[in-house]
Amino acid sequence: MTLHTIERRRHGRQSVSVVLPVLNEAPSLAILLPRVAHMLERCGVDWEAVIVNDGGNDGLEDVVAQFETSWHGANVQLLHLSRNFGKEAALTAGLAAARGDAVITMDGDGQHPAGMLPEMISAWRDGVDMAIAAQHSRDRESWVMRSAKRLFYRLLQGGERFRIPSGAGDFRLLDRRVVQALLQLPERTRYMKGLFAWMGFKTRVLPFDAEARTAGNSKFKWWQLLELASLGMTSFSMKPLRMVSLAGVVISLLAIAYGLYIAAEKLIVGNALSGWATLASGMMLLSGIQLICLGVIAEYLGRIFEETKQRPLYILDRRVDHSAVGQTEQP
Ligand code: UDP
Ligand code: MG
């Protein structure tokens, strides 16, 4: 038993916050909340649910009110962001509001099974700071999607001092110290998976099978996934920039070799110089490559621009706090 665990025990009853970012997930949440509550009570912890409404408008308040009346002793905080800021921002808002000794982040669509919660909490009680529930199989995803993700992780990793576990999503338990560390990270661009990996701490990966959504469709469109991938890449790897320089070197070498070849052909064989077709296609290829390279550099430039603006990650519209967890005085 580590010193840290002993410290936790001394506190008496442990408390756990469950952070649920939601964008129009009321039907799923109505099923999920009692399941989560049931699991957490079985673990014998004080618990609160921190629900972050990421600009949705679908009767979430009714679902929450119904849950609060039907579940005796439910502790719920409901945060409304002023518009849709994206899941990563919603998660950050939830983490900032959560008051538990440990915080569990979980999707509100029912794809993260509440049945994993006891296992995560017991890992935490063993002294693990971060328990990641990682998706076992991605059977539900298409072959193209799976290969694209694999390629992305391969590019992102390699030679770094920390690894981003592939398959790991945003279903995690974080010890209070990890939450505190995360909230201290100043960057505007929140590629959560990367940030968590960067922070280190004692981590355990627990595999699980993702469930099908209980209702509705995925809120992510393919171009948003691309955007997220670009965000992850530009905030955690300089590899694309190095590839740009490498491409420059390779193309220059090829051009020199080809130039020598043409000169030799003219001088030795005496062939007349022609070949405007080669010239035209070569030029087009090169300007294409140059534009791609500029695009790569522009991605990084854009990232720097975002960071220098120093805007808050999200804006809170309203906060309804019915949670007694972590409050010194009971209401
Ligand atoms: N979500 C959100 N803001 C967004 C998009 C999604 O809060 O802009 C929430 C969504 O309601 C769900 C979770 O993030 O609770 C995961 O989203 P989704 O199921 O669409 O993603 P997927 O499971 O396809 O990765
Ligand atoms: Mg989902």
User: Crossing angle, helix 26-42 and helix 117-125, to 10 degrees?
Assistant: 40
- The verdict on 142 and 266 lying in the same domain is no
> Structural domain of residue 163, as residue ranges?
15-211+312-321
pTM of this structure: 0.75
To test the pocket of ligand 1, the residue of 24, 50, 107, 224 to mutate (highest count of ligand atoms within 8 Å of its CB) is 107
Q: 46 CA distance to ligand 2 centroid (A)?
A: 27
- The verdict on 198 and 280 lying in the same domain is no
**Cβ atoms of residues 227 and 306 within 8 Å:** no
Residue 329 located in a structural domain: no
- The verdict on 95 and 178 lying in the same domain is yes
- The verdict on 71 and 36 lying in the same domain is yes
> Is the beta carbon of 84 within 6 A of some atom in ligand 1?
yes
Residue 233 located in a structural domain: no
Here the tokens at position 149 are: 């993700």
- The verdict on 111 and 132 lying in the same domain is yes
Write down the pLDDT at residue 179.
Answer: 92
Ligand 1, atom nearest to 28 Cα:
15
Residues of the chain below pLDDT 50: 1-3, 5-6, 9-10, 329-331
Write down the pLDDT at residue 185.
Answer: 85
- The verdict on 278 and 317 lying in the same domain is no
Q: 88 CA distance to ligand 1 centroid (A)?
A: 9
- The verdict on 51 and 156 lying in the same domain is yes
Write down the pLDDT at residue 77.
Answer: 92
Write down the pLDDT at residue 79.
Answer: 94
Write down the pLDDT at residue 118.
Answer: 92
Residue 135 located in a structural domain: yes
Residue 224 located in a structural domain: no
In angstroms, the Cα distances linking 130 to 44, 102, 145, 189, 219 are: 20, 9, 27, 21, 26
- The verdict on 172 and 299 lying in the same domain is no
> In sequence order, which residues have a C-beta less than 8 Å from that of residue 168 and are 6 or more positions away?
132, 134, 135, 193, 205
End-to-end C-alpha distance for the chain, whole angstroms: 36
What ipTM was estimated for this complex? 0.93
DSSP string, 125-192: HTT-SEEEEEES--TTS-HHHHHHHHHHHHHH-SS-SS---TTEEEEEEEEHHHHHHHHH---S---H
> Is the beta carbon of 26 within 6 A of some atom in ligand 1?
no
- The verdict on 55 and 171 lying in the same domain is yes
Ligand 1, atom nearest to 85 Cα:
8
Write down the pLDDT at residue 54.
Answer: 92
Write down the pLDDT at residue 140.
Answer: 62
Residue 108 located in a structural domain: yes
To test the pocket of ligand 1, the residue of 28, 217, 220 to mutate (highest count of ligand atoms within 8 Å of its CB) is 220
**β-bridge partners, 46:** 15
- What total of structural domains would you count in the chain? 2
- The verdict on 192 and 277 lying in the same domain is no
- The verdict on 165 and 78 lying in the same domain is yes
Ligand 1, atom nearest to 111 Cα:
23
Q: 6 CA distance to ligand 1 centroid (A)?
A: 37
